[in-house]
Chain A
Amino acid sequence: MVHALEIIHQLLRPHGKMIDIHPVGEPSPIEVRMGGQTILAGWLTEADDFVEYKQADNALAQAIQRRWFLVEREATFPFVTHADSMSELREYLAKEWKDAILDDQTARKAEELLARPERDKELLVHDRIHILQLSDI
């Protein structure tokens, strides 16, 4: 990762900018929205990805320490994944988010909530994302 940042540092023009976007690496709440109401069903956790996010943070810290980049701004923002059913969410996780761990209790509660008679329901997976802007030195 640090080597990749060194290459980016070399490819950027002087004072060019680098934006890094990655999840903060914390369990993601799974909610069921029914009309204007949302109910927590449980949490989605990850195994290796959480470790990788920490490694990414460490690599960025090293790049800053080596004076390739200067931190200009940072913030977090919400990122919400919407699904209409548990099967749809499971299919997506299996294909695109292989590291995700969806426990049985959360899945069962989400299924129960989705089975309620109310109309206009969906599953929401909430992530918190870190965005960092750096300037090439």
Chain B
Amino acid sequence: MPIRLDPEESETAALFNFVGDLAGQHVLEIGCGDGRLTWRYADQAASVIALDPNPDDIALAIKNCPPRLQGRVEFKLGTIHELAASLASAVQPPGFDMAILSWSL
């Protein structure tokens, strides 16, 4: 059996305990890695932009993105600085309701 990370889902429980209902929320996740945490909450959010600077991790996250989340979750390769730069030229930059930094600061 491969390595199992937090099969007890303590991280998800702590996250939901803190954020409550994510319905209608636009979420920015910084340091999403391979999407391990993203899969666990994205169902509830209106939209998720999930960033990571590691191309291997982002490729894995895109590859493994469950079909039900496609269109709701957008995985992007890059840093928060690069995202901010790309949004600076947007006519109407998105405002996020929530930012999640998962082991990334």
Cα distance, A12 to B84, chains bound together (Å)? 11
B2, B18, B83 — most chain A CB neighbours (10 Å)? B18
Do B8 and A80 touch across chains, with their CB atoms under 8 A apart?
A: yes
Chain A nearest CB from B66 CB (Å) reads 22
| Total B residues in contact with A, Cβ cutoff 8 Å | 37
Residues of A within 8 A of B46 (CB): none
- B15 interface residue per 8 A CB criterion: yes
**Per DSSP, are chain B's interface residues mostly helix, strand or loop, or mixed?**
mixed
Chain A residues lying within 8 Å of B5, measured Cβ to Cβ, are 79, 81-82
| A11 in contact with B84 given A16-B96, A18-B98, A18-B101 (CB within 8 Å) | yes
Closest chain B residue to A56, Cβ basis? B105
Question: Which 9 residue pairs are nearest across A and B when measured between Cβ atoms?
Answer: A13-B95, A56-B105, A82-B4, A77-B14, A18-B99, A20-B101, A92-B3, A7-B84, A133-B18
Question: With A19-B99, A22-B104 given, can you name 20 additional A-B contacts, CB distance below 8 Å?
Answer: A1-B105, A11-B94, A12-B99, A17-B97, A19-B15, A19-B19, A19-B101, A20-B105, A22-B101, A22-B103, A23-B103, A73-B18, A80-B8, A81-B5, A82-B5, A92-B3, A129-B10, A131-B15, A133-B18, A133-B19
